[in-house]
């Protein structure tokens, strides 16, 4: 039975080529698009069974924010990331954002199909060796997490520390802005700076890194609460 899907890729031509190949193999492709600002909303509105989300830069901050947005709004949509040979942290970022699988760009079309079917069935669609690397990155703490947490905390300004605490508590940009009495655009900028300084690709990965290294405990103790007089 064919899969009802959407294809989203950094390059529209690649998205359309993959969509055409999958149509020929009996799948129902609802749309093929480039991940501009409205890509997540388009996927949410069409509500496919599977979304193939292609990216050439899985390590860039914010790359998987659309994945998190899709999963938050439509948890029944299985998102499979198509990307280059990743670092374990890149895979971890994809899964932290809610991806159901990760397939390398050089995979054959049959491999993409297998990943789609597994993801639709609720299974992890990823090669075992890639999954092992991601688990090792997430589960093995640093040799001296407290030292690493202190070092990371030193990279952040007091306002960015407060933003990190609020992100870890699950606040979105609107709530962060309201709680700090700053404009949403300023809150968004603070969040992006935190992600960039921590070297992570999503809010969920930032929260996981903060918890693993002890940064979150330090941040909770040291974060100010209140409006930002300089914002």
pLDDT the model gives residue 231: 42
Q: 117-165, pLDDT tens digit by residue?
A: 999 999 988 877 777 766 665 665 444 445 677 778 788 888 898 898 8
Q: In a 10 Å sphere around its CB, with 0-12 CB exposed, 13-18 middle and 19+ buried, how is residue 77 labelled?
A: buried
Contact indicator for 202, 155 with CB cutoff of 8 Å: no
pLDDT the model gives residue 127: 79
Contact indicator for 59, 38 with CB cutoff of 8 Å: no
Contact indicator for 136, 204 with CB cutoff of 8 Å: no
Q: Which residues of the chain fall below pLDDT 50?
A: 141-145, 226-231
Short-list 36, 102, 96, 104, CA closest to 68: 96
Cα 205 to the center of its chain, rounded Å: 8
pLDDT the model gives residue 136: 65
pLDDT the model gives residue 222: 58
For residue 135, how many C-alpha atoms fall within 13 Å in the half-sphere facing its CB? 8
- According to DSSP, the residues that pair with 126 across neighbouring strands are 102
Q: Give the global pTM.
A: 0.58
């Amino acid at each position: 039975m064919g899969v009802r899907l959407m294809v989203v890729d950094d390059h529209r031509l690649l998205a359309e080529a993959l969509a055409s190949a999958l149509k020929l193999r009996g799948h129902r492709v609802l749309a093929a698009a480039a991940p501009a600002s409205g890509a997540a909303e388009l996927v949410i509105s069409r509500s496919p069974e599977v979304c193939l989300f292609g990216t050439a830069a899985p390590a860039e901050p914010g790359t998987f924010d659309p994945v998190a947005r899709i999963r938050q709004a439509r948890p029944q949509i299985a998102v499979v990331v198509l990307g280059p040979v990743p670092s374990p942290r890149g895979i971890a970022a994809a899964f932290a954002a809610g991806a159901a699988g990760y397939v390398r760009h050089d995979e054959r079309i049959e491999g993409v199909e297998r990943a789609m079917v597994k993801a639709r069935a609720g299974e992890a669609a990823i090669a075992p060796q890639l999954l092992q690397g991601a688990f090792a990155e997430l589960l093995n703490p640093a040799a001296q997490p407290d030292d690493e947490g202190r070092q990371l905390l030193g990279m952040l300004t007091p306002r960015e520390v407060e933003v990190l605490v609020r992100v870890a508590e699950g606040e979105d940009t609107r709530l962060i802005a309201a709680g700090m009495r700053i404009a949403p655009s300023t809150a968004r900028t603070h969040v992006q700076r935190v992600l960039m300084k921590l070297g992570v690709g999503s809010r969920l990965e930032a929260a996981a890194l903060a918890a693993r290294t002890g940064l979150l405990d330090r941040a909770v103790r040291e974060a100010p609460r209140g409006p930002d007089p300089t914002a």
